[in-house]
Amino acid sequence: MALSCQSVEETIAGILARRPVLGPVLNMFAPLLTARAALPQTLRPLLEETTLRLPEMDRERAAQGFPLLAEQPLTGIAAPLRAAAETILPLLEAQTVTRPHMDGLRRMFAVPQEEDAARERTAALEVLAEGMLNEKTAVLEKAAADAGVPLPVLLFAFGFILGPVLRALVLMRPGGDGKDAPWNADGAWRHGYCPVCGSSPSIAYLDRPVFDEKNAFLAGGGGKKHLHCSLCGTDWVFRRGACPFCEKEGNDVMEILRETKDARGERVDWCTQCRTYCPAVDLRESTGTPDMDVQAIGMLHLDMVAAGKGLHPIHPAFWNTF
């Protein structure tokens, strides 16, 4: 992500110090989150051996709502996916939802000895990755049926494997992991889904004041809103008065839910028009910068409040659907 933030372990420790009741949920996901955070650097050399790269930002396509990887071939992604699966699959076996389906998930990433079958399996992984990024329901349903795995389980497991590969791809692009990312330049990307992979945000954050090291008289007041991608971890700037889901905008569109005491910047931003919500944290009210993937799960208490008010998460997940 664009921020210099705490590790997964540090973020979990900070959340549990305030809300020990979340221990079972956070500890269940901790190994997966830790592995996902570490994998992009491991996978980067494998991606550098391929021809797979992020395309250049096309402002016209961006204005039309096309993420960078929309309709792009992902030739060469199978090997990094298999490398990620070697780390992620053993950790998924500890998850109740995936444990009964591990044989099918392993078959997806195995390399058959017969050459034609191996090529077919490699092509199937590329098609599955492209299908997930382009929301091709028929492709996803076929992959789930071929593996003998329920579609929600396939999406959950494959997301943990595909995400770090896409993150490594972003890291390979100059300026892709910071404020100078092309999707943040001059309002190039104005949509509420990821400019790289098209996935929905899992959490939002408001940034702290930024000071120019070269000129002490120049500073930004902070409070700019960023969305954090649930799949590839990309951060992008978004309008504070607009809904990321329906993209309606105005003074009365977005409302805030927060605890009355000791909120430390944690809140829910919800839309009065479509009644979707996104967890958010105002970093101006907190001391550290959390790992945003962990922080999203660590705001389960606010997910429950939002559900009680009939609101729907912009990114439905196993921990926020009741």
**Per residue in 80-97, pLDDT tens?**
999 999 999 999 999 999
Beta partners for residue 271, in sequence order: 254
**pLDDT tens for residues 168-186?**
999 998 766 666 799 998 8
Q: How far apart are CA 319 and CA 26, in angstroms?
A: 10
Mean pLDDT of the chain: 91
pLDDT tens profile 93-136: 999 999 999 999 999 999 988 999 999 999 999 999 999 999 99
pLDDT level of residue 300 (50, 70, 90 thresholds): very high
Contact 25, 322 (CB under 8 A): no
14 pLDDT higher than 90: yes
Q: If we measure between CA atoms, which residue out of 214, 211, 229 comes closest to residue 293? A: 229
Q: By three-state DSSP, how is residue 321 classified?
A: coil
Percent of the chain, pLDDT > 70?
93
Q: Which band of pLDDT confidence, cut at 50, 70 and 90, is reported for residue 59?
A: very high
Could you tell me the residue ranges of all domains in the chain?
A: 22-171, 185-313
Q: What percent of the chain has pLDDT over 90?
A: 82
CATH: 3.90.1670.10, 3.65.10.10, 3.50.50.60, 3.40.462.10. Which one for 185-313? 3.90.1670.10
Tell me if 300 sits within 8 A of 264, measured CB to CB.
Answer: no
For CA atoms 151, 153, 156, 159, give the dihedral sign: negative
pLDDT score of 1: 45
Tokens of 182: 């092309």
State yes or no: pLDDT of 218 exceeds 90: no
pLDDT value of residue 260 = 75
Cα–Cα distance between 132 and 260 in angstroms, integer?
Answer: 40
pLDDT at 212 over 90: no
pLDDT at residue 180 in the model: 77
The pLDDT of residue 215 is above 50 = no
DSSP secondary-structure letter at 308? H
- The pLDDT of residue 297 is above 60: yes
Whether residue 2 has pLDDT greater than 70: no
Give the residue with greater pLDDT, 180 vs 14.
Answer: 14
Please tell me the predicted confidence (pLDDT) of residue 259. 81
> What is the C-alpha separation between 150 and 236, in angstroms, rounded?
32
219 pLDDT more than 60:
no
Per-residue pLDDT band at 287 (split at 50, 70, 90): confident
Tokens standing for residue 280: 């958010």
